[in-house]
Structure 1
Amino acid sequence: MKVLVTGGLGFIGSHLVDRYIDLGYEVIILDNLSTGSLANLNPNARFVSMSLLEDQVADLVSDEKPDIINHHAAQVNVRNSVANPFYDIETNLLATSKLLEASGKAEVKRFIFSSSGGTVYGKTPSRAIPESYKTNPISPYGINKLASEFYINFYAELYGFQAVILRYSNVYGLRQNPRSESGVISIFKNRIKNQLHPVIYGDGEQIRDYIHVSDVVNANIMFSQLDSSLQGTFNVGTGKGTSLNKLLNFFYVFYPDGKVPVYKEAKEGDLFYNVLSIDKLTSLGWSPKLSLEEGIKELCQGDIS
């Protein structure tokens, strides 16, 4: 089976490529190296350096005719989308639409899309939110992720391919870039490890749903079996919320001499509470395997061993 992974040199995409390779898939990586790294390249995958906005993408998809396209390439910084919404439209929405058009014409069988459960719902009450909850994104990033979902369903209906939309909560793990504004776990770890004060905007009681990248990969693999008829929109998280203050305390177990946090004024538009209900996905047999404590231990082991 042949799979094309966009963003396959990035944080989540590279872990996904590794798993596909281990399972015997033929893998093509499409990445423009804007945030991905050649250090993440699996030598058993074929790598094509190309932006999704280039016309040659349609030719590539047509020539390769992958069975599955797993679309993880994106501009993932919410604050950058606010500062430059037109760039986010181009990079996330237009690029996705062009890829969908190419996928349909090449008769791709299944299209898997990494959406954002952290942004498409907008402000939510303090409970785990199911897929049926109303969507009301408050950032261009969230708006474009949600619009992409609509385009995916449109093209799936038009061309007859199976569409899987996975709305991730806050994903963390090895290879996450600590220099990005997204990925608070990698940012916290990097600052504490280097004897810098972690910075918290607000009082630190804002709640998020943190899921390890291996569990996200497992969800993707479950939907990557062509003999399955599974499709639709699914939250991918843990169903459990953790405050930033509690999150920091997990790190201080491994870095007892780490600097204390510095609290700054909350940033406009930041959500206070975001936790995803995963009942729909667990009903299919998937469940998160790695607890937050275990995941942070994995991140820190290299420094404390």
Structure 2
Amino acid sequence: MKILVTGGAGFIGSHLVDALLTNGHAVAVVDNLSTGVREQVDQRAEFHEADVADAGLAAVVKKVRPEAVVHLAAQVDVRKSVADPVEDARVNILGTLNVLEAARQAGVRHFIFASSGGAIYGDTDLRPTPESHPAVPASPYGIGKLSGEHFLRIFHKTFGMRTVALRYANVYGPRQNALGEAGVVAIFTHRLLAGQQAVINGDGKQSRDFVYVGDVVAANLAALQASVSGAFNIGTGREVIIDQVANLIRQAVGQGDFSHGPAKPGEQMTSCLDNRLVAKTLGWRPKMPLEEGIAKTVAWFLGQH
């Protein structure tokens, strides 16, 4: 199958490109390299440097002629979305719509969208949170992802495109950008390995659902093989507080100090995703335990030093 991956030079995207090529697919990548790394893209993949919100994207997609599109390119920092909601909307709302329309014009029948289970639901009393729970985003980033899901639903209903939104929990693992993305595992690991103090925003009692990048890639592969449309949580169902994650990273690194700073605007207190629907529908279940995943992540960062 010919598959176009937007954001394919990024953290999750580069891992997905590797897996698709390993499975015998032909892969094209679109990435503007604002946060992606060109060297992370396997040379066997066709590469196009382009912004997903640009008008010229339709010509790129038409040239590639993919059978499926996996749309991962995004502005991923919740805090940046609060500081500059217009830019967040340009990339995450208009960019997603632009990719969808370009895919429709090129005759693409299968579209997978990287949504956010952490940001879409907001703070909830029901955890793990199922897909049926009302979506009340606590940030412009969450609003953008929910808007993308609504566009997917319309394109499915109106044009018959098979659309799947994968609502990621907090993804972590090798290749995550410790400087430009909102990933606490990468940020904490990078600082501790550099002998610096890591700052926990707030009291450290915030809870998150951490899912390993390899498991997220497996979810995308399962979605590509399925003939369903809809939204699915991609998380572990295990709620972990930030202080606990910090201690696991300190143990894996073997050193490190943490301090607490003020909480950041737009960040929610709780997040944990119910994954029973995706297990039943796509047969996906997370396999990587958090402790082992953190050890693998620390080992990768050590290899970069």
Match in the other structure for 2:21: 21
Q: Which residue of 2 aligns with 1:264?
A: 261
Gaps of 5+ in 1: none
Greater helix content = 2
Aligned to 2:112: 112
Could you tell me which amino acid in structure 2 is paired with residue 109 of structure 1? R
1:99, 1:273 → 2: CA distance?
31
Letter in 1 for 2:95: A
Asked if 2 retains the 8 angstrom alpha-carbon contact of 1:126 and 1:274, the reply is no
Please state how far the C-alpha of 1:55 moved relative to its aligned partner.
Answer: 2.1
Question: How far 1:213 moved relative to its partner?
Answer: 0.2
**Corresponding position of 2:5:** 5
Match of 2:59 in 1: 59
Alignment of 1:222 with 2:232, yes or no, is no
Amino acid in structure 2 at the alignment position of 1:11: F
SS at match of 1:92: helix
Q: Which residue of 1 aligns with 2:240?
A: 242
Point out the more displaced range, 165-174 or 280-289. Answer: 280-289
Tell me which of 244, 250, 253 is aligned to 2:251: 253
Corresponding residue SS for 1:253: helix
Unpaired stretches in structure 2, ≥5 consecutive residues: none
Quick check: 1:30–1:49 contact (8 Å CA) kept in 2?
yes
Task: Tell me: CA distance 1:224–1:181, structure 2 relative to 1, closer, same or farther (3 Å).
Answer: closer
Greater Cα offset, 109-118 or 56-65 = 56-65
CA distance in 1, matches of 2:201, 2:98: 37
The percent identity for this pair of structures is: 42
Match of 1:83 in 2: 83
| Aligned-partner Cα distance in 2 for 1:221–1:95 | 23
* 2:97 alignment partner in structure 1: 97
TM-score (norm 2): 0.95
Superposed CA RMSD in Å reads: 1.3
Distance 1:44 1:181 in 2: 26
How far apart in 2 are the matches of 1:140 and 1:21?
34
Q: Which amino acid aligns with 2:289?
A: S
Where does residue 283 of structure 1 map in the other structure? 280
What is the SS of the residue equivalent to 1:274? coil
Distance 1:12 1:299 in 2: 13
Aligned length: 301
**Counterpart of 1:50 in structure 2: which amino acid?**
A
SS, match of residue 62 in structure 2: helix
Q: In 2, Cα distance between the equivalents of 1:129 and 1:137?
A: 13
Partner of 1:293: 291
